[in-house]
Chains A and B, each alone.
Chain A
Amino acid sequence: MKCPTKEKLILYVEALISEDESLGNEYSAKEFENHLKTCKTCSAFVNSIVEDDKILKEDTGKLFERHSQASAIMEKVRGIPLSKESHSTLPHEFVRLFFKWFFPSLAIFLIAIMSFMLFSSKEDKIRKTVTLVSLRAVDSDSYYNGEPFLGPVFDKVEINELSAFDLNGKFRMTLESDSLSELDIVGSMTVKVDTNSFLSFEGRDINIELITGRELPLSVNGASKLLNKEHNIKIELNPERSQVSSDIRKIDDISVDANVKTSTKALIPTIDNTLPEKLPSYKNETEEEKEKFGAKLKFRLRSLPEAIYIKPEEINPESVDVSNDSSYHNDKSALTEESYEPFDGKAFKYKD
């Protein structure tokens, strides 16, 4: 046996102190003992450790005996009244466990509730409330399940009847619930409706924009997204509160979100350069006149809508006429291109 390293000799010493507490030395105690009998260097090293331990133990013991404070401690504590606090392991344990687990449990519970509210409520709401879906191809180069489409693809289909479909091009989707939401969808993708009526989009170059209505939770390529409305121009058809955002300088498209007073449904017609003869969600409520680019656009509403949203896109209407049966009219000259730079908030002021 070669001389073990000092580390192994230390392990041997430790094992000697208590044989059943081996520290995993690769040599047996017997092998060490035989080696130590013949090797003076290793023997001296081990003996030095053992001797140091012995001196440390015995002399500390002696020092301790000389300086033991046991009597003084007991004299002191005899005069000390103990705390009146009753010592019972059960209540103490209960209190300890209560404080150990109650607050973490409460925190986890609250986080779970908040997470549920945060991540589930909107989805659940849309799942519960979206009932009808309309889809329209707004570009002549649009394909639905591989077939070219222009105009309505389907109209007010129960969401539960939809499964998966492929879109390629530019589409507008209308989701009807207690209110209406309208999305512009551009790109090539597969749209799926899961068992909870939750819409998911998978594909390349997906561009989805909320045109009107409230924000929507969607799944895009596996990631949850909350779709928000941006850069809409909102015109409230209340003469007293008529106002226009002026941050969009060019009107390319017009969409109208009209909450008709006689109905709980909101109606969102869309007008663009491929304006259909009849707008699917609006055909029974409006009449439109369309001329070529720059022509006059006219809506006739059966009742006064609460708001109109205008979103620029690709056409430039010379003017828009919004009216209803109550004979409210906007200024026909208001929507000229010039009037949008800057947009005049008085443009849609009603007249009797």
Chain B
Amino acid sequence: MSRQEKSDVELIKLVLSGECEAYSVLVQRYEKLVFSFLLSRMNSIQDIEDVVQDAFVKAYKHLASFDCERKFSAWLLTIARNIMIDSRRKLSRDLPSTDLVIDILLTDSAKEESEQPADILIRRERFRKILMLIRELPEEFKTPFLLRVVNEMSYQDIADSIGIPLQTVKNRIFKARTLLREKREKKDEMPN
């Protein structure tokens, strides 16, 4: 069995037995999860990068104390959340999202090659708007929704990852979508 096929707990055991490189599989498996979690909460892409790094490093340092009965993803998100709160406190960077907007505008669009420059700009602006709307959602709705859409996780996997009941996941995603629609319609109705 390759490392990629191993479960989280098996990989953790490998790391703890000295196979440091097994940790890279966990990083590959969950980095996007942590990234999207932070994307809806932090304003600076640089801060997001720092928190992602710090979260994985901290998790690695304390791997021996990880409770194998828990989900590694849930534990990792808890660490990331705590680091994010600490960094906000220390840096007081919860300012308007200038950096993030720039990053989004610099992002290569998935259809960049086939689309006209005007379409690319429209798409980037739409992405920015979606992201801003998600950031306005209540905290408890953000993570299930992003895990569902960005990480394409099943309801059950989301429930397991963040440790909430299955039906709660379904309700929160539905509520997130409803709120996003309402917010979007309101903004569309507003004159520029």
Contacts and interface: CB of A to CB of B under 8 A. Distances in A.
Contact of A89 (B68, B103, B181): B68
Contact of A80 (B31, B48, B61): B61
Given A56-B131, A61-B150, A83 B62 contact: yes
B86 interface: no
A318 B9 CA distance: 93
B150 A56 contact: yes
Interface in A51-65: 52-53, 55-64
A76 B61 CA distance: 11
A74 B27 CA distance: 8
A7 B12 CA distance: 42
A68 B57 contact: no
What does DSSP make chain A's interface, helix, strand, loop or mixed?
Answer: helix
A106 interface: no
Interface string B26-44: 0110011001100100000
Q: How large is the interface on B (under 10, 10 to 19, 20 to 34, 35 or more residues)?
A: 35 or more
A147 interface: no
B13 A63 contact: no
Interface string A42-81: 0000000100110111111111101111101110111010
B72 interface: no
Nearest to A65: B108
Interface string B170-192: 10011001101100000000000
A72 to B, nearest CB: 6
A258 B138 CA distance: 78
B115 interface: no
Given A7-B178, A49-B177, A83-B62, A68 B126 contact: no
A70 B61 contact: no
B181 A10 contact: yes
A23 B123 CA distance: 30
A184 interface: no
A49 B179 CA distance: 12
B130 interface: yes
Contacts of B152: 17, 57
Contacts of B69: 93, 96
Given A58-B110, A70-B27, A87 B35 contact: no
Given A23-B174, A87-B64, A96-B67, A56 B154 contact: no
Contacts of A53: 149
Contacts of A202: none
B82 interface: no
A69 B56 contact: yes
Interface in B141-162: 146, 148-150, 152, 154-155
A78 B20 contact: yes
